[in-house]
Amino acid sequence: MIERIRCNLIVVVSVLKNKVKRLLYGGKVVIGTWVTINSIDVVEALSRVGLDWLLFDMEHGSLEVSDIQRLLPATNGTDTVPLVRVPWNDFVTIKRVLDMGVYGVMVPWVNTRESAEAVIKAVTYPPHGIRGFGPRRAVYYGLESSTEYFKRISDEILVVVQIETGDAINNIDEILSVKGIDVAFIGPYDLSANLEIFGEVEHPKFKSAVEKVLNSCKRKGVVPGMAALSVNDAMDAIKMGFKFVSIGYDIFDLTKIYRSNVEEIRRYLSFLT
């Protein structure tokens, strides 16, 4: 009887709730950063600095499913929500990372309504989707109620699609018409490269594309997101109306800080001589 009571208490206390999703739909800005360094220490440190979310990058980072499984517990006990960028719009990878208990997925290269529909099918259980049921760590290996998880998960998982090509811009209204898409996310370098103006974020072609995304998000009730590599870029994105905003990139920020420190010491040494 005591063991049964303990298990019931666990079920009540541990129900999945996605803070980021609630903040976004309350009109708030959420900030996060990218995780590419395969280190528990890095994840643990970043999840305790006040970020709303961490996004584990499987597309350009070296992280695999087994790495994320090992790193995720480092976010436990914090207010920082773990998300994953999968390497491709592949339902097998999507269901595997969701089964580990992440609170959302970012999917690259979503260029059409059909590809957006494929994303929603991958994150959703039948009858609306094709996700197979086996949420391992997501229900703490059976210590939580699988039935409760099944009922709530569609409301808790954050679905982010990347808008990074000219085709995606042209099809933006159709893409964002798909029910279940929460965030349309722009990576400035990917989008500008595919528009053949790499890095020219002040180019009229790039600005026009960004404006189309912002306007479509307003019409369709989808949150606009933007990647920023500096605090100033993040603040500019927020001023434009973006709500899901990254501030930096773990390995880039690490190298920038050390390069700046080294250069400062070199200048000091040069002055001494």
The predicted-structure confidence for 255-266, as pLDDT tens digits, reads as follows 999 999 999 999
User: Is residue 8 over pLDDT 50?
Assistant: no
Q: Over range 48-55, report the average pLDDT.
A: 98
- Residue count of the chain, please give it: 273
User: Is residue 2 over pLDDT 70?
Assistant: no
User: Is residue 121 over pLDDT 50?
Assistant: yes
Q: Output the pLDDT for position 229.
A: 86
E-state strands within 86-218? 104-107, 158-162, 183-186
Q: Output the pLDDT for position 16.
A: 64
d(CA 243, CA 270): 44
Q: What are the CA-CA distances from residue 212 to residues 168, 169, 206 (Å)?
A: 10, 7, 10
User: Is residue 78 over pLDDT 90?
Assistant: yes
203 is catalytic: no
Q: Residues 131, 124: contact at Cβ < 8 Å?
A: yes
Q: To 10 degrees, the CA torsion angle through 224, 228, 231, 237?
A: -30
d(CA 68, CA 38): 8
DSSP-derived 3-state class of residue 85: strand
Structure tokens at 32: 């996060």
Q: What are the CA-CA distances from residue 138 to residues 92, 102, 126, 141, 267 (Å)?
A: 16, 7, 18, 7, 51
Q: Output the pLDDT for position 37.
A: 98
User: Is residue 12 over pLDDT 70?
Assistant: no
Q: Which residue of the set 6, 17, 22, 60 is catalytic?
A: 60
d(CA 56, CA 100): 13
Domains located in the chain, CATH noted:
2-272 (3.20.20.60)
Q: What are the CA-CA distances from residue 163 to residues 33, 126, 196, 264 (Å)?
A: 18, 27, 15, 39
Q: Output the pLDDT for position 10.
A: 36
pTM of the model: 0.92
The overall average pLDDT reported for the chain is 93
Strand partners, 160: 106, 183
